[in-house]
Amino acid sequence: SSIKVADQWSKAVVLRLDSPGGSALASDLLWHQLMKLRAKKPLIVSVGAMAASGGMYLASAGSKIFAEPTSIVGAIGVVGGKVSFKRSLAEVGVHVTTIAGTKDPEKAARAAYMSPLEPWDDATRAKVRASMVSVYDLFLKRLSEGRGVPVETIATSAEGRIFGGVTARDRKLVDELGGLDD
C-alpha cells in the first residue's frame, strides 16, 4: 500500500526510525514510497537507538536525517548462507537422498538448495553470491540517490560497518545530531 498524507494538513512528515533492518525487498518497497512522499513534502528522519541495514535504507529517503550521538547507524551490507547437516548426519548413519522430479541435472542440483540436508555445489554458491552482490549494489545505489552522495562515498561506510551518530554525520550518513525534538 502507498503512504498517503493529507496535503492541506501537513507541512512536513517526521519519521522516527529505530530498526536493525530486515528484508531487502521490504526495505526497497518502503524506500520507493518514502521517496514519493519526499517529492511532495519534506521528510525528516529522526534516528532513535538504531538505523542499521534496512533501517538505514529507509532513513536514506529522508530530506534530512537527525541522529543522536549515541545512535547506531550503518551496517550497509548483505549477508547470506545456510547450514548443511548432510555430512554430520552421514557420520551417524543417516543418509539423505533428494528426489527432484526433473531429469535436468542443473535444475535437480538446485531443487533443494535451501534445504539444510543438502550442501551447495559451486554453481549454486555462485548464483547465490551473484544475487547477494546485486542486492548490495542496489542498496548502495538507493542510499546514494536518497542521500545525494556518490556511491563511492557511501561505499566507504558500507560492508556491514556501523557507526555512532557523530561518526555517521562525519561520513554523510546523517545530516545533524539531535533527537525527535530537534
Which is the catalytic residue, given 19, 27, 46, 53?
53
Residue 31 CB neighbour total at 10 angstroms = 22
What is the C-alpha separation between 124 and 91, in angstroms, rounded? 24
Q: What residue type is 81 in one-letter code?
A: G
Clarify whether 53 is annotated catalytic. Answer: yes
Residue 162 CB neighbour total at 10 angstroms = 19
What SS3 class is residue 30? helix
∠ CA 44-49-54, nearest 5°, is: 70
What is the C-alpha separation between 21 and 76, in angstroms, rounded? 10
Give the DSSP per-residue string, 113-165: TT-TTS---HHHHHHHHHHHHHHHHHHHHHHHHHHT--HHHHHTTBTT-EEEH
Catalytically active residues are: 53
